[in-house]
Amino acid sequence: MQLPKYLTQDELKRLFDVVSSPRDKALFALIYHYGLRVEEATMIHLNNVDLKNHRIRIDRLKNGIGGEKPLWKHTAKLLRSYLRSRNSTTDYLFTGREGPLKKRQIQNLFNEYAEKAEIKGKSIHCLRHSIAVHLLEAGRGIEYVADHLGHRNIQNTRVYAQITNPFRDQVFRELEHSPKIVKIMS
């Protein structure tokens, strides 16, 4: 099984450093922070976002579990910045000159910024994988990551634990010295 590609924290910082547009920065932040598929980002409407109460409604694809989630404060700040400059009559959150942004447009935007940031071999879907890996690195359990990504089946989430588990060695060392574990001697 091939492990998912993801962006390291350094690559993410480089990516966001080159994103100049408030819209694109807010878009990529939402995709990363909520582990969105690109199509899920295209489905967000203005009324899905409640900046006053810091809430966002996420509708998931592939039979995923959506629902209302807390809105990260710095993501809310990026959204406010974008909405001040937004010039569209459509009720979709992310728009371009010709209406709602399409999946291909978002993929192309990511590719342009990734090239500027000298990030090679990564697609926009890597942002979804990145938050999963980063949540595990931050000590969140696999169940939390599954919920965060909207996975109904936790088996879909376990692949990320193969990439990283910073506490595995620490737990092993603690168990090795635990009086509750029988030590087999020669």
Q: Which residue among 25, 33, 37, 129 is the active-site one?
A: 37
Contacts of 156 (CB under 8 A, 6+ apart): 146, 149
First to last CA, the chain: 37
Q: What is the pLDDT of residue 100?
A: 94
Measured CA to CA, the distance from residue 115 to residue 29 in angstroms comes to 18
Q: Which residue among 14, 55, 102, 125 is the active-site one?
A: 125
| 62 has catalytic annotation | yes
Instruction: Give the residue ranges of the chain where pLDDT is below 70.
Output: 1, 164-175, 183, 185-186
Q: Which residue among 25, 33, 128, 148 is the active-site one?
A: 128
DSSP structure class, residue 47: G
Domains of the chain: 9-163 (1.10.443.10)
| 183 has catalytic annotation | no
Q: What is the pLDDT of residue 160?
A: 78
State the CB neighbour count (10 A cutoff) for residue 68: 12
Q: Which residue among 62, 77, 168, 173 is the active-site one?
A: 62
Measured CA to CA, the distance from residue 90 to residue 5 in angstroms comes to 34
- Which ranges of the chain would DSSP assign to H, the alpha helix? 9-18, 22-34, 38-42, 73-85, 103-116, 126-137, 142-149, 155-163, 168-176
Q: pLDDT digits over 133-151, tens only?
A: 898 888 888 888 888 888 8
| 128 has catalytic annotation | yes
